[in-house]
Amino acid sequence: MTALSSAPAYAAPGTVSVAESAPGSPGSPETTFDKDLARLDDLALLGIVRLLPRASERRVAACELLVTRYQGLVWSCVRRYARSPELVEDLVQVGYVGLLKAINNFDPALCSNLTTYAQPCISGELKRHFRDKRWQIHVKRSVQDLMLQARAATGPLAQELGRTPTESDLATYLGVGVADLRQAERAELAFQPSSLDAPLAGQPGLGTLADYLGEEDPRFEHMLTMRAVATHWGELTPREQEILLMCFRGDMTQTEIGRRLRISQMHVSRLRAHALGHLRARLLDLEDAPAPPAPPAPPALAAAGIRGRSR
């Protein structure tokens, strides 16, 4: 990695770095590398890299010189990702890693020049970086590739149509379905998720996004249950309604309820069980289940005319 750390600062095409601006300056190739290496062509330098051991200073110098000569190739590979959320400087460093791999693995028997061999190595390293390091969730490789294709095609297609391309335009241009294109667009949203702890945009000091997100309210489920109970509440007899209110709202025991209504505790238990069974069958849509029969009133109460409404 010495070559990577020693590589000159990246400069966009058409500009010249400080190290290259003045011949003989401390950062220029004439003083950084041996003069005999600076006079060699790329194939000769690649031969030195291939034949000498990795610890050799001459090999390291040859590798650094090759990195300097091909920094423009790194930029050309990085430029297609200029619209990505990743910093360009970070992508350039990843591109240099791919270039170093190409220099170390170059075989003249397989390829005649370094440019042809290094370009797919650099592009592959950049794609690997995006695939393995940038995604916060797992996204299929095919979806990632389609996302990159759609991003690259948007500009040329807009120039061709004279307007911003629609989803149908992009799908037709890329030869894919609209549903697949939408999936790729959703995947791009997951590429750089927002932090819940990040301050709200344009509202400094007013809290984070997490402060404005609701949380689970245990009373919400209770409210829904009570709404469902209210739907069938009128199907109970007044005596059953009164018993359930005393039991669940008044927190009274069956003995206390029986004393209040002047009926036995056993009869309270029967009325309570019948009412709850009826509500349970309605709430769970157990229409086919036979409803429990209304409990008979004790003889003394029946004689007095106190009897639960039959069903």
Q: Report the pLDDT value the prediction gives residue 134, as an integer from 0 to 100.
A: 67
Q: Report the pLDDT value the prediction gives residue 151, as an integer from 0 to 100.
A: 85
Tokens found for residue 262 = 């002047």
Give Rg (Cα) of the chain.
39
Q: Report the pLDDT value the prediction gives residue 47, as an integer from 0 to 100.
A: 87
> In angstroms, rounded to a whole number, what is the distance separating the alpha carbons of residues 145 and 97?
22
Tokens found for residue 192 = 């750089």
Residue 197's CB: how many other CB atoms inside 10 A? 9
> In angstroms, rounded to a whole number, what is the distance separating the alpha carbons of residues 208 and 280?
44
- Chain center to CA of 210: 17
Q: Euclidean distance between the first and final Cα of the chain, in Å? A: 87
Cβ burial of 240 (10 Å; 0-12, 13-18, 19+) is buried
Q: Report the pLDDT value the prediction gives residue 34, as an integer from 0 to 100.
A: 63
Which residues is 208 bridged to in the sheet? 199
pLDDT tens-digit profile, the chain (311 residues): 444 444 443 344 333 333 333 334 444 444 445 677 888 888 888 888 888 888 888 888 888 889 989 989 999 999 888 777 778 888 999 999 999 999 998 888 888 888 888 999 999 999 888 777 766 677 787 887 888 888 888 889 999 989 999 989 999 999 999 999 998 888 777 766 677 777 776 666 667 777 777 777 778 888 888 888 899 999 999 999 999 999 988 999 999 999 999 999 999 999 999 999 999 888 887 655 455 555 554 444 333 333 333 33
Residue from 28, 31, 64 nearest 48 by CA: 64
> In angstroms, rounded to a whole number, what is the distance separating the alpha carbons of residues 130 and 143?
13
Query: Taking CA 176 as the corner, what is the angle to CA 172 and CA 179, rounded to the nearest 5 degrees?
Result: 105
pTM: 0.42
Tell me 79's DSSP state.
Answer: G
Q: Report the pLDDT value the prediction gives residue 172, as an integer from 0 to 100.
A: 92
Name residue, tokens 């003889």: 299
Q: Report the pLDDT value the prediction gives residue 94, as an integer from 0 to 100.
A: 92
Cβ burial of 61 (10 Å; 0-12, 13-18, 19+) is buried
Residue from 189, 188, 178, 81 nearest 144 by CA: 188
User: 78 CB contacts (<8 Å, ≥6 apart)?
Assistant: 88, 91, 92, 95, 126
> In angstroms, rounded to a whole number, what is the distance separating the alpha carbons of residues 239 and 297?
12
> In angstroms, rounded to a whole number, what is the distance separating the alpha carbons of residues 71 and 64?
11
Q: Report the pLDDT value the prediction gives residue 191, as an integer from 0 to 100.
A: 66
Q: Report the pLDDT value the prediction gives residue 208, as an integer from 0 to 100.
A: 76
Q: Report the pLDDT value the prediction gives residue 88, as an integer from 0 to 100.
A: 87
Tokens found for residue 255 = 């003995």
Coil vs helix vs strand at 51:
helix
Q: Report the pLDDT value the prediction gives residue 303, as an integer from 0 to 100.
A: 38
φ and ψ of 53, to 5 deg: -65, 155
Name residue, tokens 């990246």: 10
Q: Report the pLDDT value the prediction gives residue 175, as an integer from 0 to 100.
A: 92
